Chains A and B, each alone.
Chain A
Amino acid sequence: MSTSMITAVPELTRRVRGRRRRNLPVLAGLLVLALVLFAIVGPLLIPYGETQGSLSARLLPPFGSAGGHLHLLGTDQLGRDTLVRLAYGARVSLLVGVVGVLVACVIGTTVGLLAGIGKRWVDSVLMRGTDVALSIPGLLVAILLASVFRPSLVTIFVTVGLLLWPTYARLIRGEVLVLRNADFVALARVAGCSTRTIVWRHLLPNVLPSMIVLATLQIGVAIVLEASISFLGVGLPPDQASWGSMIDQGRPYLQSAWWLTALPGLFIFLAVVSFNALGDWARVRFDPRLDGPR
């Protein structure tokens, strides 16, 4: 008996187009990898410090040098090397992206699960909470929080997590509500499973693909969020490098040293595009419909 049956895929791509299609996520993956490497290894290899700047070397263009020191991407208004600050900024962005999303994922999934399997009133209360969380504009919350707690990397993780969890909650809740009525869940009850077992063995594993897809897509949002917060001056302290604050600090010098604003933004753009491409690939790859009949 043959065990490999076809899953009838109504989508089509001609062979050639198919090959090109597969390259996009690969490219995105490579970009992300490059970024990670840049973030980890960059500050070690580049011979400048994050906050070390000399006024004699200020506002140098890319490949400019002063006093015998070459600055590949120029320097900013305090003479700090742009390239190395971009690397430190990469650390911040990637960390915030990953950890912030992780926090959001944990909170959101828990809320979503509880709302999905709980009684009607539990669902109601949790959804009202989600509505409230969504109603208060994100950046505002970030600004307000920043003025309460002195901003550090940890507070930014928490802020981003607090801003992103409602999307998770809504998604997970939706999926759980559907899964709840699936035959295999009813059959699990008939097989003697407790609610707890059903959640861990049957619900969570089937919700996992959506979680992963959403997480990948949220990383880009988190990165932009962190950059926005820093841009507004309520993120990390200004001497610490963050792509957002670099753009803000470069603004007065738009005419003379436009690269100070352009480069960090370009990095943000590339990072977000790559993560989004990965997320789109993941969405197609983990599409539950493909687990269906032949």
Chain B
Amino acid sequence: MLTFISAKFGQAAVSMIGASIVVFLLARATGDPVTLMVSSNASAAEIARVRGSLGLDRSLPEQYLTFIGRAIRGDFGTSLQYRRPAMDVVLHGLNATVQLAAVAFLLTLLIAIPAGVYAAARRDGPFDRVVRGIAATTQALPSFWVASLFILFFSVMLAVLPTSGYRGPKSFVLPVATLVIYSLAGLMRLTRSSMLETLQTEYIRFARVKGARERSVLWRHGFRNAGLSVLTFGALVLLSLLSGSIIVETVFAWPGIGRAVVLAVNHRDFPVVQAIVLVLSGAYIVGNFLVDILYAVLNPRLRSA
């Protein structure tokens, strides 16, 4: 078990380093922020001075090492837009995004898992067809379109909900609804197909042969096993909610990191861009690592390995 954990940790570490390099290069490649910061008729010396003060005149590998060194300590530099530590901007945005993502995630789980399980249990029955229809439909709906239509209906026509902003519980409704629609299909489908596969196994047949009640067969025997892959996927869903919020935050002007990163790119605010992307990648990699560990803990076969 310990070997397993260390191996996974090693893999995660390598992935993190790889991600940081990619992030660093990408951020640099988006363009030169200096030109945005100085007036159009600045002299060459002026430009060079600004560049020097930002540390942009040193070689790339040097810049990378500095970047990494500071990043580990949580220092991503100062935001070029707001003149505040980049990390502050990130944390501020994270706060709003995480709230949104958490609510959406919980709702998605509550709807998708039972739906998937019962759809699999009564395969090809009316409930299954409805579930599959919902999955097919929601998967094809672009989130920005859904968001716009929601705004049209509820904010403009019916005027019951706010069009945008982060202000009190009512402002959560539309963004959460959009996010739920966005992530529902995948989890429903995966739960359903995972359950279907599990229900074909011999041990399910054996449970039935012992006279177990259908509910017990479904949940105690079936989901116990299918749940493992649902769990893994669920983690991915949560992580994708964090990053998929870009569109939703743009449409609803939600002050989360999705919106922050778009603004940062437009303003060529390296430090913030780097910080956000690295945080998101890191979350994904760490998340996967934790899921792998959890999976091993829950899977008896791996536990004793």
Contacts and interface: CB of A to CB of B under 8 A. Distances in A.
Question: Do the two chains touch directly in the complex (Cβ atoms below 8 Å apart)?
Answer: yes
A220 B139 contact: yes
Interface in B117-142: 124, 136-137, 139-142
User: Interface majority SS on B: helix, strand, loop or mixed?
Assistant: helix
A227 interface: yes
A273 B140 contact: yes
A227 to B, nearest CB: 5
Interface string A237-269: 000000010011011001100100110110011
Interface of A: 13, 124, 128-129, 131-132, 134-141, 143-145, 147-148, 220, 224, 227-228, 231-232, 244, 247-248, 250-251, 254-255, 258, 261-262, 264-265, 268-270, 272-273, 276-277
A128 B280 contact: no
A137 B244 contact: yes
Interface stretch (B38-46, B146-154, B224-232): B146-154
Interface stretch (B16-24, B80-88, B201-209): B16-24
B29 A148 contact: yes
Contacts of B281: 132, 135-137
Given A132-B18, A139-B247, A276-B139, A265 B149 contact: yes
Given A128-B18, A147-B31, A232-B247, A247 B144 contact: yes
Contact of B244 (A128, A139, A265): A139
Interface residues of B, number: 46
B280 A132 contact: no
Contact of B243 (A139, A220, A251, A269): A139
B148 A247 contact: yes
Contacts of A144: 26-27, 29-30, 265, 273, 277
A137 B268 CA distance: 18
Given A145-B26, A268-B140, 6 more contacts: A134-B284, A144-B273, A147-B265, A220-B140, A224-B140, A277-B136
B78 interface: no
User: Interface majority SS on A: helix, strand, loop or mixed?
Assistant: helix
21 contacts: A13-B124, A128-B14, A129-B18, A131-B11, A134-B284, A135-B280, A135-B285, A136-B19, A137-B277, A138-B243, A139-B246, A139-B247, A143-B261, A144-B277, A148-B26, A227-B144, A251-B148, A258-B152, A261-B149, A262-B149, A272-B139
Contacts of A270: 140
Nearest to A149: B29
A265 B142 contact: yes
A253 B149 CA distance: 12
B123 to A, nearest CB: 9
Contacts of B288: 131
B11 A272 contact: no
B145 interface: yes
Interface string B237-263: 000000110110011000000000110
